[in-house]
Amino acid sequence: MEKQIVIDVSHIYKSFGNNHVLKDFTMQVKRGENIAVLGKSGSGKSVLIKCIIRLNEPDKGNIKLLNTDVLTLDHEGLDELRSRVGFLFQSNALYDSMTVRENLEFPLRRHRIKDEMTHEFVEGRVMEALSNVGLAHTIDMMPAELSGGMRKRIALARTLILKPDIILYDEPTTGLDPITSREISELINSIQQKYQTTSIIISHDMSCIKTTADRIIMLIDGRCYAEDSFEELQNSMDEKIRLFFD
Amino acid sequence: MSDFGKSILEQTGELTRFAMRFFSQGLKPRYEWKEFLRQCYWIGYKSLTLVAITAFIMGLVLTIQSRPTLVEFGAEAMLPSMVSVSLIREISPVITALICAGKIGSGMGAELGSMRVTEQIDAMEVSGTNPFKYLVVTRIAAATLMLPILVNLSNAISLYGSFLGVNIRGNVSWSLYWIQVYDVLSFGDLVPSLIKTFFFGFAIGLVGCFKGYYSKKGTEGVGRSANEAVVVASLLVFIIDLLAVQITDLLGLT
Ligand SMILES: Nc1ncnc2c1ncn2[C@@H]1O[C@H](COP(=O)(O)OP(=O)(O)OP(=O)(O)O)[C@@H](O)[C@H]1O
Ligand SMILES: [Mg+2]
Protein backbone atom coordinates (compact mmCIF):
# COMPACT_ATOMS: atom_id res chain seq x y z
CA MET A 1 0.00 0.00 0.00
CA GLU A 2 1.21 3.46 -0.88
CA LYS A 3 2.06 5.50 2.18
CA GLN A 4 -0.27 8.34 3.02
CA ILE A 5 0.80 11.92 2.30
CA VAL A 6 0.66 13.93 5.53
CA ILE A 7 2.22 17.22 4.46
CA ASP A 8 1.15 18.54 1.09
CA VAL A 9 2.38 21.99 0.11
CA SER A 10 1.39 23.03 -3.36
CA HIS A 11 2.34 26.10 -5.35
CA ILE A 12 2.71 28.56 -2.49
CA TYR A 13 3.87 32.13 -2.91
CA LYS A 14 4.95 34.48 -0.18
CA SER A 15 6.46 37.94 -0.43
CA PHE A 16 7.27 40.72 1.99
CA GLY A 17 6.85 43.93 0.03
CA ASN A 18 9.14 43.59 -2.93
CA ASN A 19 11.02 40.69 -1.46
CA HIS A 20 9.57 37.62 -3.16
CA VAL A 21 10.66 34.86 -0.82
CA LEU A 22 8.68 31.84 -1.98
CA LYS A 23 7.73 31.50 -5.60
CA ASP A 24 5.66 28.51 -6.57
CA PHE A 25 7.04 26.15 -3.94
CA THR A 26 5.72 22.61 -3.89
CA MET A 27 6.56 19.60 -1.73
CA GLN A 28 5.00 16.46 -0.34
CA VAL A 29 5.95 14.40 2.68
CA LYS A 30 4.70 10.89 3.38
CA ARG A 31 3.93 9.42 6.77
CA GLY A 32 7.05 8.49 8.69
CA GLU A 33 9.42 10.32 6.36
CA ASN A 34 12.23 12.62 7.50
CA ILE A 35 12.71 15.41 4.99
CA ALA A 36 15.53 17.91 5.11
CA VAL A 37 15.16 21.33 3.53
CA LEU A 38 18.45 22.82 2.46
CA GLY A 39 18.95 26.40 1.35
CA LYS A 40 21.09 29.47 1.78
CA SER A 41 20.60 31.82 4.70
CA GLY A 42 17.69 34.11 3.85
CA SER A 43 16.30 31.81 1.18
CA GLY A 44 13.02 31.50 3.06
CA LYS A 45 13.32 28.21 4.90
CA SER A 46 11.91 29.57 8.14
CA VAL A 47 9.21 31.39 6.22
CA LEU A 48 8.28 28.10 4.56
CA ILE A 49 7.75 26.07 7.71
CA LYS A 50 6.01 28.98 9.39
CA CYS A 51 3.59 28.99 6.48
CA ILE A 52 2.95 25.30 7.07
CA ILE A 53 1.45 25.96 10.51
CA ARG A 54 0.19 29.36 9.49
CA LEU A 55 2.43 31.54 11.59
CA ASN A 56 2.94 33.21 8.23
CA GLU A 57 0.06 33.60 5.84
CA PRO A 58 1.02 32.59 2.28
CA ASP A 59 -0.18 34.92 -0.46
CA LYS A 60 -1.26 32.12 -2.73
CA GLY A 61 -1.29 28.33 -2.84
CA ASN A 62 -2.55 25.39 -0.87
CA ILE A 63 -1.31 23.59 2.22
CA LYS A 64 -2.72 20.35 3.58
CA LEU A 65 -1.59 18.84 6.87
CA LEU A 66 -2.95 15.44 7.92
CA ASN A 67 -5.62 15.84 5.23
CA THR A 68 -6.82 19.17 6.61
CA ASP A 69 -6.72 22.32 4.56
CA VAL A 70 -4.65 24.61 6.76
CA LEU A 71 -5.42 27.92 5.09
CA THR A 72 -9.18 27.77 5.49
CA LEU A 73 -9.30 26.65 9.13
CA ASP A 74 -10.96 28.77 11.81
CA HIS A 75 -9.35 29.43 15.19
CA GLU A 76 -10.50 26.30 16.97
CA GLY A 77 -9.63 24.08 14.05
CA LEU A 78 -6.22 25.64 13.78
CA ASP A 79 -5.51 25.15 17.49
CA GLU A 80 -6.65 21.56 17.23
CA LEU A 81 -4.36 20.96 14.26
CA ARG A 82 -1.43 22.76 15.87
CA SER A 83 -1.68 20.48 18.89
CA ARG A 84 -0.70 17.64 16.55
CA VAL A 85 2.29 19.47 15.11
CA GLY A 86 5.49 20.16 17.03
CA PHE A 87 7.64 23.14 16.13
CA LEU A 88 11.24 23.55 17.23
CA PHE A 89 12.09 27.21 16.79
CA GLN A 90 15.39 28.44 15.42
CA SER A 91 15.95 30.56 18.55
CA ASN A 92 14.45 27.90 20.88
CA ALA A 93 11.73 30.30 22.05
CA LEU A 94 11.85 29.09 25.66
CA TYR A 95 9.79 31.37 27.89
CA ASP A 96 12.34 33.37 29.86
CA SER A 97 10.02 34.13 32.75
CA MET A 98 9.12 30.50 33.39
CA THR A 99 11.01 27.53 34.82
CA VAL A 100 11.76 24.50 32.67
CA ARG A 101 8.78 22.72 34.23
CA GLU A 102 6.40 25.58 33.45
CA ASN A 103 7.79 25.80 29.94
CA LEU A 104 6.96 22.17 29.33
CA GLU A 105 3.57 22.36 31.01
CA PHE A 106 2.53 25.37 28.95
CA PRO A 107 1.48 23.59 25.73
CA LEU A 108 -0.12 20.75 27.69
CA ARG A 109 -2.28 22.94 29.88
CA ARG A 110 -3.13 25.28 27.05
CA HIS A 111 -4.13 22.77 24.42
CA ARG A 112 -6.08 20.20 26.34
CA ILE A 113 -8.03 22.43 28.64
CA LYS A 114 -11.13 20.26 28.80
CA ASP A 115 -9.46 16.87 29.14
CA GLU A 116 -8.96 15.21 32.46
CA MET A 117 -5.61 16.90 33.04
CA THR A 118 -4.72 15.46 36.40
CA HIS A 119 -1.62 16.57 38.20
CA GLU A 120 -0.12 13.10 37.77
CA PHE A 121 -0.72 13.10 34.04
CA VAL A 122 1.03 16.43 33.54
CA GLU A 123 3.88 15.47 35.83
CA GLY A 124 4.29 12.15 34.02
CA ARG A 125 4.40 13.77 30.62
CA VAL A 126 6.91 16.39 31.74
CA MET A 127 9.21 13.77 33.22
CA GLU A 128 8.92 11.56 30.14
CA ALA A 129 9.80 14.43 27.81
CA LEU A 130 12.72 15.52 29.97
CA SER A 131 14.18 12.05 30.28
CA ASN A 132 13.88 11.64 26.51
CA VAL A 133 16.40 14.45 26.18
CA GLY A 134 18.36 13.40 29.26
CA LEU A 135 17.82 16.56 31.30
CA ALA A 136 15.51 15.48 34.12
CA HIS A 137 17.64 17.28 36.71
CA THR A 138 17.05 20.73 35.21
CA ILE A 139 13.32 20.71 35.88
CA ASP A 140 13.30 23.60 38.33
CA MET A 141 15.89 25.77 36.62
CA MET A 142 15.30 28.90 34.57
CA PRO A 143 16.20 28.85 30.86
CA ALA A 144 18.81 31.56 31.44
CA GLU A 145 20.75 29.17 33.69
CA LEU A 146 21.17 26.58 30.94
CA SER A 147 23.80 26.27 28.23
CA GLY A 148 22.92 26.66 24.56
CA GLY A 149 22.86 22.92 23.90
CA MET A 150 20.75 22.27 26.98
CA ARG A 151 18.30 24.96 25.93
CA LYS A 152 17.99 23.34 22.52
CA ARG A 153 17.24 20.01 24.17
CA ILE A 154 14.65 21.54 26.51
CA ALA A 155 13.02 23.18 23.51
CA LEU A 156 12.99 19.78 21.85
CA ALA A 157 11.38 18.27 24.94
CA ARG A 158 8.70 20.95 24.85
CA THR A 159 8.09 20.20 21.19
CA LEU A 160 7.57 16.52 22.03
CA ILE A 161 5.34 16.95 25.01
CA LEU A 162 2.09 16.69 23.06
CA LYS A 163 3.33 13.59 21.19
CA PRO A 164 2.85 15.27 17.82
CA ASP A 165 2.38 13.39 14.56
CA ILE A 166 4.50 15.91 12.70
CA ILE A 167 7.57 17.77 13.90
CA LEU A 168 9.06 20.78 12.15
CA TYR A 169 12.66 21.49 13.13
CA ASP A 170 14.06 24.92 12.31
CA GLU A 171 17.84 24.58 12.31
CA PRO A 172 18.13 22.22 15.26
CA THR A 173 21.93 22.17 15.31
CA THR A 174 22.94 25.68 14.30
CA GLY A 175 25.24 27.40 16.74
CA LEU A 176 26.21 24.22 18.55
CA ASP A 177 29.59 22.53 18.62
CA PRO A 178 30.06 19.41 16.43
CA ILE A 179 29.71 16.99 19.33
CA THR A 180 26.54 18.52 20.70
CA SER A 181 25.10 18.83 17.24
CA ARG A 182 25.73 15.14 16.64
CA GLU A 183 23.93 14.39 19.90
CA ILE A 184 20.96 16.46 18.76
CA SER A 185 20.91 14.67 15.40
CA GLU A 186 20.89 11.31 17.14
CA LEU A 187 18.15 12.54 19.44
CA ILE A 188 16.06 13.48 16.42
CA ASN A 189 16.56 10.01 15.00
CA SER A 190 15.66 8.26 18.21
CA ILE A 191 12.52 10.37 18.60
CA GLN A 192 11.54 9.56 15.06
CA GLN A 193 11.90 5.84 15.76
CA LYS A 194 10.21 5.95 19.13
CA TYR A 195 7.12 7.95 18.18
CA GLN A 196 6.93 7.29 14.42
CA THR A 197 6.75 10.98 13.61
CA THR A 198 6.94 12.64 10.23
CA SER A 199 9.37 15.50 10.16
CA ILE A 200 10.81 18.37 8.21
CA ILE A 201 14.29 19.39 9.24
CA ILE A 202 15.74 22.68 8.12
CA SER A 203 19.48 22.85 8.31
CA HIS A 204 22.75 23.87 6.72
CA ASP A 205 24.56 21.30 8.78
CA MET A 206 25.54 18.54 6.34
CA SER A 207 26.35 15.95 8.98
CA CYS A 208 22.98 16.51 10.64
CA ILE A 209 21.22 16.17 7.32
CA LYS A 210 23.17 13.06 6.44
CA THR A 211 22.25 11.28 9.67
CA THR A 212 18.63 12.33 9.87
CA ALA A 213 17.16 12.82 6.41
CA ASP A 214 15.58 10.25 4.11
CA ARG A 215 15.20 12.79 1.36
CA ILE A 216 16.52 16.29 0.75
CA ILE A 217 14.73 19.24 -0.80
CA MET A 218 16.85 22.08 -2.14
CA LEU A 219 15.15 25.44 -1.68
CA ILE A 220 16.75 27.75 -4.21
CA ASP A 221 15.24 30.91 -5.71
CA GLY A 222 12.04 30.43 -3.76
CA ARG A 223 11.13 27.06 -5.20
CA CYS A 224 11.93 23.40 -4.89
CA TYR A 225 15.03 23.29 -7.08
CA ALA A 226 15.83 19.61 -6.64
CA GLU A 227 14.84 16.72 -4.42
CA ASP A 228 16.67 13.47 -3.92
CA SER A 229 18.61 11.37 -1.47
CA PHE A 230 21.82 12.65 0.08
CA GLU A 231 24.04 10.44 -2.07
CA GLU A 232 22.39 11.41 -5.33
CA LEU A 233 22.62 15.11 -4.61
CA GLN A 234 26.20 14.77 -3.48
CA ASN A 235 27.11 13.38 -6.88
CA SER A 236 25.08 15.95 -8.77
CA MET A 237 26.80 18.00 -11.44
CA ASP A 238 24.49 21.00 -11.09
CA GLU A 239 26.48 24.06 -10.00
CA LYS A 240 23.93 25.46 -7.58
CA ILE A 241 23.70 22.12 -5.81
CA ARG A 242 27.45 21.57 -5.78
CA LEU A 243 27.85 24.78 -3.78
CA PHE A 244 26.28 23.10 -0.76
CA PHE A 245 28.25 19.89 -0.90
CA ASP A 246 31.80 21.15 -1.54
CA MET B 1 4.20 66.27 4.00
CA SER B 2 7.45 65.58 5.77
CA ASP B 3 8.45 62.06 6.66
CA PHE B 4 8.26 62.93 10.32
CA GLY B 5 4.69 64.13 10.10
CA LYS B 6 3.68 61.15 8.07
CA SER B 7 5.21 58.73 10.51
CA ILE B 8 3.40 60.41 13.40
CA LEU B 9 0.07 60.05 11.61
CA GLU B 10 0.85 56.47 10.69
CA GLN B 11 1.80 55.61 14.24
CA THR B 12 -1.32 57.23 15.63
CA GLY B 13 -3.40 55.14 13.27
CA GLU B 14 -1.64 51.93 14.17
CA LEU B 15 -1.84 52.68 17.87
CA THR B 16 -5.57 53.30 17.54
CA ARG B 17 -6.01 49.99 15.74
CA PHE B 18 -4.04 48.30 18.50
CA ALA B 19 -6.35 49.88 21.10
CA MET B 20 -9.45 48.71 19.22
CA ARG B 21 -8.02 45.22 19.12
CA PHE B 22 -7.51 45.42 22.89
CA PHE B 23 -11.20 46.12 23.40
CA SER B 24 -12.51 43.63 20.86
CA GLN B 25 -10.33 40.77 22.09
CA GLY B 26 -10.25 41.68 25.76
CA LEU B 27 -14.01 41.46 26.08
CA LYS B 28 -14.27 38.00 24.55
CA PRO B 29 -13.98 35.06 26.92
CA ARG B 30 -11.24 32.84 27.89
CA TYR B 31 -10.03 35.54 30.26
CA GLU B 32 -6.46 35.15 31.39
CA TRP B 33 -7.04 35.89 35.07
CA LYS B 34 -3.90 34.29 36.36
CA GLU B 35 -1.64 36.25 34.06
CA PHE B 36 -3.63 39.41 34.77
CA LEU B 37 -3.07 39.07 38.51
CA ARG B 38 0.58 38.33 37.97
CA GLN B 39 0.91 41.53 35.95
CA CYS B 40 -0.95 43.53 38.60
CA TYR B 41 1.57 42.27 41.10
CA TRP B 42 4.51 43.20 38.91
CA ILE B 43 3.21 46.58 37.87
CA GLY B 44 1.73 47.61 41.20
CA TYR B 45 3.84 46.07 43.88
CA LYS B 46 7.16 46.42 42.14
CA SER B 47 6.69 50.15 41.57
CA LEU B 48 5.56 50.84 45.11
CA THR B 49 8.89 51.82 46.66
CA LEU B 50 9.90 54.03 43.79
CA VAL B 51 6.56 55.83 43.74
CA ALA B 52 6.55 56.25 47.52
CA ILE B 53 10.02 57.75 47.70
CA THR B 54 9.47 60.19 44.85
CA ALA B 55 6.08 61.20 46.25
CA PHE B 56 7.55 62.03 49.63
CA ILE B 57 10.39 64.06 48.16
CA MET B 58 8.01 65.80 45.77
CA GLY B 59 5.71 66.96 48.60
CA LEU B 60 8.62 68.07 50.71
CA VAL B 61 10.43 70.00 48.01
CA LEU B 62 7.35 71.66 46.58
CA THR B 63 6.47 72.95 50.04
CA ILE B 64 9.92 74.30 50.74
CA GLN B 65 10.04 75.98 47.33
CA SER B 66 6.62 77.59 47.68
CA ARG B 67 7.22 79.17 51.07
CA PRO B 68 9.26 82.26 50.05
CA THR B 69 6.66 83.47 47.58
CA LEU B 70 3.83 83.12 50.07
CA VAL B 71 5.89 84.84 52.77
CA GLU B 72 6.36 87.79 50.44
CA PHE B 73 2.58 88.23 50.27
CA GLY B 74 2.18 87.58 53.96
CA ALA B 75 0.17 84.47 53.15
CA GLU B 76 2.35 81.91 54.88
CA ALA B 77 -0.68 80.36 56.54
CA MET B 78 -1.96 79.36 53.11
CA LEU B 79 0.99 77.06 52.55
CA PRO B 80 -0.66 73.68 53.32
CA SER B 81 -3.77 74.50 51.31
CA MET B 82 -1.93 75.75 48.28
CA VAL B 83 0.59 72.95 48.15
CA SER B 84 -1.96 70.20 48.66
CA VAL B 85 -4.13 71.47 45.82
CA SER B 86 -1.23 71.53 43.38
CA LEU B 87 -0.08 68.13 44.52
CA ILE B 88 -3.41 66.36 44.24
CA ARG B 89 -4.60 68.04 41.10
CA GLU B 90 -1.54 67.95 38.98
CA ILE B 91 1.88 67.18 40.29
CA SER B 92 1.39 63.84 42.00
CA PRO B 93 -0.62 62.22 39.16
CA VAL B 94 1.67 63.47 36.43
CA ILE B 95 4.94 62.68 38.17
CA THR B 96 3.71 59.22 39.14
CA ALA B 97 2.59 58.59 35.59
CA LEU B 98 5.95 59.70 34.23
CA ILE B 99 7.78 57.42 36.62
CA CYS B 100 5.55 54.56 35.56
CA ALA B 101 6.06 55.41 31.90
CA GLY B 102 9.76 55.03 32.56
CA LYS B 103 9.55 51.90 34.63
CA ILE B 104 6.52 50.00 33.34
CA GLY B 105 6.50 51.26 29.77
CA SER B 106 10.12 50.44 29.12
CA GLY B 107 9.78 47.13 30.92
CA MET B 108 6.89 46.07 28.69
CA GLY B 109 8.64 47.31 25.56
CA ALA B 110 11.77 45.35 26.36
CA GLU B 111 10.03 42.21 27.59
CA LEU B 112 7.58 41.83 24.73
CA GLY B 113 10.24 42.96 22.28
CA SER B 114 12.61 40.21 23.32
CA MET B 115 9.75 37.71 23.30
CA ARG B 116 9.02 38.74 19.73
CA VAL B 117 12.64 38.54 18.63
CA THR B 118 13.28 35.14 20.19
CA GLU B 119 10.04 33.74 18.71
CA GLN B 120 8.41 33.23 22.11
CA ILE B 121 5.29 34.96 20.83
CA ASP B 122 5.13 32.56 17.88
CA ALA B 123 5.66 29.66 20.26
CA MET B 124 2.65 30.75 22.32
CA GLU B 125 0.58 30.96 19.21
CA VAL B 126 1.31 27.37 18.25
CA SER B 127 0.65 26.27 21.83
CA GLY B 128 -3.04 27.02 21.68
CA THR B 129 -2.71 30.47 23.19
CA ASN B 130 -3.69 33.78 21.73
CA PRO B 131 -0.56 35.81 22.49
CA PHE B 132 -2.38 39.11 22.12
CA LYS B 133 -4.80 38.15 24.87
CA TYR B 134 -2.28 36.43 27.06
CA LEU B 135 0.43 39.09 26.88
CA VAL B 136 -1.07 42.36 25.71
CA VAL B 137 -4.61 42.46 27.08
CA THR B 138 -3.49 41.43 30.56
CA ARG B 139 -0.72 44.01 30.67
CA ILE B 140 -2.81 46.92 29.45
CA ALA B 141 -5.64 46.02 31.83
CA ALA B 142 -3.25 45.69 34.75
CA ALA B 143 -1.60 49.03 34.02
CA THR B 144 -4.99 50.74 33.71
CA LEU B 145 -6.06 49.37 37.06
CA MET B 146 -2.82 49.80 38.97
CA LEU B 147 -1.93 53.35 38.01
CA PRO B 148 -4.85 54.98 39.86
CA ILE B 149 -3.93 52.96 42.94
CA LEU B 150 -0.33 54.07 42.73
CA VAL B 151 -1.41 57.69 42.24
CA ASN B 152 -3.67 57.54 45.28
CA LEU B 153 -0.80 56.25 47.30
CA SER B 154 1.45 58.92 45.91
CA ASN B 155 -1.16 61.57 46.83
CA ALA B 156 -1.20 60.45 50.43
CA ILE B 157 2.55 60.16 50.82
CA SER B 158 3.25 63.49 49.14
CA LEU B 159 0.97 65.16 51.70
CA TYR B 160 3.08 63.66 54.48
CA GLY B 161 6.15 65.01 52.76
CA SER B 162 4.49 68.37 52.59
CA PHE B 163 3.70 68.28 56.31
CA LEU B 164 7.38 67.83 57.00
CA GLY B 165 8.17 70.68 54.61
CA VAL B 166 5.76 73.02 56.37
CA ASN B 167 7.34 72.27 59.71
CA ILE B 168 10.94 72.76 58.73
CA ARG B 169 10.63 76.52 58.91
CA GLY B 170 7.18 77.05 60.37
CA ASN B 171 5.17 75.40 63.05
CA VAL B 172 1.86 73.88 62.11
CA SER B 173 0.43 71.15 64.29
CA TRP B 174 -0.50 67.76 62.83
CA SER B 175 -4.23 68.29 63.26
CA LEU B 176 -4.21 71.86 62.02
CA TYR B 177 -2.32 70.76 58.92
CA TRP B 178 -4.86 68.13 58.03
CA ILE B 179 -7.79 70.45 58.80
CA GLN B 180 -6.37 72.97 56.38
CA VAL B 181 -5.73 70.34 53.72
CA TYR B 182 -9.18 68.77 53.92
CA ASP B 183 -10.80 72.15 54.10
CA VAL B 184 -9.45 73.20 50.73
CA LEU B 185 -9.62 69.86 48.90
CA SER B 186 -12.96 69.05 47.33
CA PHE B 187 -14.30 66.28 45.15
CA GLY B 188 -13.74 68.53 42.18
CA ASP B 189 -10.03 68.28 42.89
CA LEU B 190 -9.80 64.58 43.49
CA VAL B 191 -12.23 62.95 41.08
CA PRO B 192 -11.09 64.46 37.76
CA SER B 193 -7.50 63.85 38.70
CA LEU B 194 -8.29 60.22 39.50
CA ILE B 195 -10.22 59.70 36.29
CA LYS B 196 -7.35 60.90 34.20
CA THR B 197 -5.00 58.46 35.89
CA PHE B 198 -6.96 55.56 34.39
CA PHE B 199 -6.17 57.06 31.02
CA PHE B 200 -2.54 57.51 31.98
CA GLY B 201 -2.35 53.84 32.91
CA PHE B 202 -4.08 52.77 29.73
CA ALA B 203 -1.77 54.90 27.59
CA ILE B 204 1.37 53.60 29.27
CA GLY B 205 0.30 49.97 28.92
CA LEU B 206 -0.87 50.47 25.37
CA VAL B 207 2.30 52.13 24.14
CA GLY B 208 4.61 49.75 26.01
CA CYS B 209 2.85 46.69 24.57
CA PHE B 210 2.52 48.18 21.10
CA LYS B 211 6.20 48.98 20.82
CA GLY B 212 7.23 45.60 22.20
CA TYR B 213 4.73 43.49 20.30
CA TYR B 214 5.80 44.90 16.96
CA SER B 215 9.48 45.03 17.77
CA LYS B 216 11.85 44.77 14.85
CA LYS B 217 14.07 41.74 14.60
CA GLY B 218 17.40 41.77 16.37
CA THR B 219 18.59 42.91 19.76
CA GLU B 220 18.84 46.48 18.52
CA GLY B 221 15.10 46.39 17.86
CA VAL B 222 14.44 45.47 21.50
CA GLY B 223 16.42 48.43 22.79
CA ARG B 224 14.65 50.75 20.43
CA SER B 225 11.24 49.40 21.46
CA ALA B 226 11.97 50.05 25.11
CA ASN B 227 13.27 53.51 24.38
CA GLU B 228 10.40 54.54 22.12
CA ALA B 229 7.89 53.17 24.60
CA VAL B 230 9.14 55.58 27.27
CA VAL B 231 9.28 58.58 24.95
CA VAL B 232 5.84 58.10 23.43
CA ALA B 233 4.18 57.14 26.72
CA SER B 234 5.56 60.23 28.46
CA LEU B 235 4.38 62.43 25.65
CA LEU B 236 0.92 60.87 25.78
CA VAL B 237 0.75 61.49 29.52
CA PHE B 238 1.15 65.22 28.89
CA ILE B 239 -1.31 65.23 26.02
CA ILE B 240 -3.92 63.44 28.13
CA ASP B 241 -3.23 65.87 30.95
CA LEU B 242 -3.84 68.77 28.59
CA LEU B 243 -7.11 67.30 27.34
CA ALA B 244 -8.22 66.48 30.87
CA VAL B 245 -7.77 70.04 32.08
CA GLN B 246 -9.78 71.36 29.13
CA ILE B 247 -12.59 68.94 29.79
CA THR B 248 -12.82 69.59 33.52
CA ASP B 249 -12.73 73.28 32.72
CA LEU B 250 -15.63 72.96 30.29
CA LEU B 251 -17.62 70.95 32.81
CA GLY B 252 -17.07 73.64 35.38
CA LEU B 253 -15.30 71.37 37.82
CA THR B 254 -12.32 73.64 38.38
N1 LIG C 1 8.24 39.13 9.12
C2 LIG C 1 8.99 39.45 8.06
N3 LIG C 1 8.89 40.68 7.50
C4 LIG C 1 9.63 41.01 6.43
N5 LIG C 1 10.53 40.21 5.86
C6 LIG C 1 10.69 38.97 6.36
C7 LIG C 1 9.92 38.54 7.49
N8 LIG C 1 10.29 37.26 7.79
C9 LIG C 1 11.23 36.94 6.88
N10 LIG C 1 11.46 37.95 6.02
C11 LIG C 1 12.40 37.93 4.90
O12 LIG C 1 12.25 36.71 4.23
C13 LIG C 1 13.50 36.20 3.81
C14 LIG C 1 13.67 34.77 4.27
O15 LIG C 1 13.76 34.73 5.66
P16 LIG C 1 13.92 33.38 6.47
O17 LIG C 1 13.93 33.73 7.91
O18 LIG C 1 12.92 32.40 6.02
O19 LIG C 1 15.35 32.88 6.03
P20 LIG C 1 16.02 31.49 6.36
O21 LIG C 1 16.10 30.74 5.09
O22 LIG C 1 15.33 30.84 7.48
O23 LIG C 1 17.47 31.96 6.76
P24 LIG C 1 18.36 31.48 8.02
O25 LIG C 1 19.05 30.25 7.59
O26 LIG C 1 19.31 32.60 8.20
O27 LIG C 1 17.45 31.28 9.17
C28 LIG C 1 14.55 37.15 4.35
O29 LIG C 1 14.99 37.94 3.29
C30 LIG C 1 13.83 37.98 5.36
O31 LIG C 1 14.32 39.29 5.31
MG1 LIG D 1 15.63 30.54 9.47
DSSP assignment string, A168-183: EEESTTTTS-HHHHHH
Is residue B15 assigned to a domain?
no
B1 pLDDT more than 70: no
Is residue B1 assigned to a domain?
no
Looking at the CA of A89, name the nearest ligand.
Answer: 2
Name the residue in chain B with its Cα closest to that of A93.
B120
**3 state DSSP class of B38:** helix
What one-character DSSP code corresponds to residue B137? I
- For the stretch B7-58, pLDDT in tens is 888 889 999 999 999 999 888 888 899 999 999 999 999 899 999 999 999 9
| Position with higher pLDDT, B188 vs B131 | B131
- For the stretch B182-235, pLDDT in tens is 999 988 888 989 999 999 999 999 999 999 999 987 788 899 999 999 999 999
Distance from CA of B134 to the nearest CA of A (A): 11
Cα separations (Å) of B233 from A15, B15, B40, B97, B204?
33, 12, 19, 9, 5
The residue range of the domain holding B110 is 30-250
> CA-to-CA distance for A219 and A44, rounded, in angstroms?
8
A88 pLDDT more than 90: yes
Name the residue in chain A with its Cα closest to that of B124.
A107
A1 pLDDT more than 60: no
What one-character DSSP code corresponds to residue A214? S
Q: How far is the CA of B189 from the centre of ligand 1 (A)?
A: 54
* Model confidence band, residue B128 (pLDDT cutoffs 50, 70, 90): confident
Tell me whether A169 touches chain B (CB under 8 Å): no
For chain B, what percent of residues have pLDDT higher than 70?
Answer: 98
CB-CB neighbors (< 8 A) of B34 in chain A: none
**CB-CB under 8 Å, A95 with B118:** no
Q: Which of B202, B189, B196, B252 is nearest to B18 (CA)?
A: B202
CB-CB neighbors (< 8 A) of A111 in chain B: 127-128
Distance from CA of A154 to the nearest CA of B (A): 14
- Tell me how many domains chain B contains: 1
Name the residue in chain B with its Cα closest to that of A56.
B122
> CA-to-CA distance for B198 and B202, rounded, in angstroms?
6
B6 pLDDT more than 80: no
Is residue B162 assigned to a domain?
yes
Nearest CA to ligand 1 atom 9: A47
Neighbours of ion ligand 2 (CB under 5 A): A 46, 90
Nearest CA to ligand 1 atom 31: A42
Is residue B11 assigned to a domain?
no
What is the CATH number that goes with domain A1-65+165-246? 3.40.50.300
Q: Are A208 and A169 in contact (CB under 8 A)?
A: no
pLDDT at A116: 64
A112 pLDDT more than 70: no
Residue among B111, B123, B129 whose CB faces A93 most closely: B123
A113 pLDDT more than 60: no
Distance of CA B187 to the CA centre of its chain: 21
- For the stretch A188-237, pLDDT in tens is 999 888 888 999 999 888 888 888 999 999 999 988 888 888 888 888 88
Nearest CA to ligand 1 atom 29: A42
Q: Verify whether ligand 1 is closer than 6 Å to residue A43 (CB atom).
A: yes
- For the stretch A119-156, pLDDT in tens is 888 899 999 999 988 899 999 999 999 998 899 999 99
- For the stretch A26-76, pLDDT in tens is 999 999 999 999 988 889 999 999 999 999 999 999 999 999 999 999 988
pLDDT at B43: 93
Nearest CA to ligand 1 atom 19: A42
Mean pLDDT score of chain B: 92
pTM assigned to the model: 0.91
The residue ranges of every structural domain in chain A are 1-65+165-246, 85-163
